[in-house]
Amino acid sequence: MRVAMMTAAVLVCASSASAGAPTFSKDVAPILFKSCVECHRPSAMAPMSLMTYEDARPWARAIRQKVATRQMPPWGADPTVGKYSNDVSLKQAEIDTIAAWVDGGAPEGNRAELPAAPTFAEGWSIGKPDFVFTMQQPFTVPADGTVPYMYVSIPTNLKEDIWIKAVELKPTDRRVVHHIISNIVEGNGKAPDPEPKLTRDPSRKEVGGGLGGLVPGRLYGEFEEGVARKIPAGADIVLQMHYTTIGQRVVDQTQIGVVLAREPPAKLRAEGGGAIPNMQFVIPPGDPNYEVVGKQTFDRDTYLSSMYPHMHVRGKDATYTILYPDGREEVVLRVPKYDFNWQLSYKLAEPKFIPKGSTLKVSFHYDNSTANRFNPDPTAAVRWGDQTWEEMMLGYYGTIELPGSTATRTRQR
């Protein structure tokens, strides 16, 4: 009798699922294709693929839990502050659809209703690059120990200026690369030394700002429609490489892929930006909410386009505020729960006009207490440092300028 009742219950559940529950093909796949499979696909950064029903079905309950708690897709911005063009967070209706699908038995549904899956260039998230620049020689990351920051120069060998609309930095093995910061520097007519250095050559003048970066949780940089960044003819690229050991020897030869803008430069707006650092801080032992502030004043009209806060494992929250010359203050980004493993860039849906004389204020808080489960040593006084067990305060930002226009910044603390 008990077995019969259980069998009947299963049949009722299956009937209910097929009759009224959302299905993968019609309802869930469109959500995953839009917001998840950029990372959750073969050879991408996520641990499993969600491209097909067979891929997703074993993870159904885990998917439900992650989206219900808004851990996935990762997005840290306070939704009450502003709107961002790269907001990947799910709408509540989408979360409810996934929950109902799982609660209804996670049925596949009619495969004829499955939308076409997005396509990706093999090995790249930006599509097939027009140019690929590669480290001149491989670098061997040892099995253990601490690797200091290494500076690697890559020649572009460009004969003329190019304007790019997307960039992606691709290590050979991402497990050993914590982050990469890239800068475009003027060439000197000679091939740069292929040997990695412990410091950057100060004689090589930076031109056009950074090219792009790689940090935990970020795959690539793609600019808004009509916005591009110039790489001048003859320029070189300098990479700041932060390698971490994983218990085995790994050889890395990072590549940089770029996609060209299709519009003529005269019609493009230039992507620029900078960083607001504060290196003069000491976080007291055990302090659960220590504030560090940085400010930067603009001496020319410009448009704020994006923001990217950077801290290490004691980072707690981040706020960006524009202080206007007339005394007004406007919060343009608040990240109430900073996550070191998902360091995201937040792109404004509409670039924010910053008139001459305005100040961009960046306020970060740090948790150096025992309540922070990622804290390596709550008894330590923490200062600025390169390694993860130290801290940083960097308020990166992006601006949009007309070609030939450069905003002057005055940094304050």
pLDDT in tens, the chain (413 residues): 333 433 333 333 333 444 578 999 999 999 999 989 888 888 777 788 999 999 999 999 999 999 999 989 989 999 999 899 888 899 999 999 999 999 999 999 999 999 998 887 677 888 889 999 999 999 999 999 888 889 999 999 999 999 898 899 989 988 888 888 888 888 877 778 888 887 878 777 877 667 777 776 555 677 777 778 889 999 999 998 989 898 999 999 999 999 998 876 665 566 667 889 999 999 999 999 999 999 999 988 999 988 999 999 999 999 999 999 999 999 999 999 999 888 888 989 988 999 999 999 999 999 999 999 999 999 999 999 888 899 999 998 988 865 544 444 455 55
Do residue 76 and residue 132 come from a single domain? no
Please check whether residues 262 and 280 belong to one and the same domain: no
Instruction: Indicate the SS3 state at residue 178.
Output: strand
The answer to whether residues 14 and 57 belong to one domain is yes
Nearest by Cα to 187 from 152, 233, 151: 233
Residues 219 and 293 in one domain: no
d(CA 282, CA 171): 33
Specify whether 62 is located in the same domain as 187. Answer: no
Please give the biggest Cα pair distance in the chain: 87
The pTM score is 0.72
What is the CATH classification number for the domain harbouring 154?
2.60.120
> What is the secondary structure of 141-168 as a DSSP string?
EPSSS-PPPEEEEEE---SS-EEEEEEE
Residues 6+ apart with CB under 8 A from 390: 312, 382, 383, 384
Neighbours of 233 (CB within 10 A): 13
Paired residues of 152 in beta bridges: 239
**According to the model, what pLDDT value does residue 405 have?**
47
374 and 279 housed in the same domain: yes
Q: What is the dihedral of CA 86, 44, 315, 285, to 10 degrees?
A: 180
Question: Looking at 267, 291, 323, which one is the last position of a domain?
Answer: 267
pLDDT confidence of residue 16: 40
Boundary-marking domain end, from 242, 267, 292? 267
Q: Which region holds residue 28: left if phi is over 0, alpha if psi is between -120 and 50, else beta?
A: alpha
184 and 147 share one domain = yes
Length of the chain: 413
Strand partners, 302: 354
* Structural domain span for residue 105: 2-113
CA–centroid distance for 118 within its chain: 21
pLDDT score for 123:
75
Residue 283 phi, psi dihedral angles, 5° rounding: -85, 115
| The pair of three-digit structure tokens given for residue 291, joined into one six-digit string | 């504030």
**Side-chain half-sphere exposure of 347, counting CA atoms within 13 A:** 13
pLDDT of residue 293: 98
* 66 conformational bin, left if phi > 0, alpha if psi -120 to 50, beta if neither: alpha
Q: What is the DSSP letter of 32?
A: H
> Are 361 and 236 found together in one domain?
no
Do residues 257 and 284 both lie within one domain? no
Q: Which of 338, 333, 334, 335 is closest to 316 using CA atoms?
A: 338
Residues 6+ apart with CB under 8 A from 277: 294, 392, 393, 394, 395, 411
Task: State in Å, rounded, how far the first CA of the chain is from the last one.
Answer: 76
Task: Say if residue 109 is in the same domain as residue 136.
Answer: no
Number of structural domains (the chain) is 3
At 323, which CATH number? 2.60.120.230
Q: Is 369 exposed, middle or buried (0-12, 13-18, 19+ CB in 10 A)?
A: middle
pLDDT at site 13: 39
d(CA 128, CA 88) in angstroms, rounded, equals: 23
Last residue of a domain, one of 63, 87, 113: 113
413 and 390 in a single domain? The answer is: yes
Give whole-number Cα distances, 29 to 35, 72, 118, 163, in Å: 10, 15, 11, 35
Same domain, 102 and 172: no
Q: In 3D, which of 202, 195, 214 has the Cα closest to residue 255?
A: 214
Bin 157: left if φ > 0, else alpha if -120 < ψ < 50, else beta: left
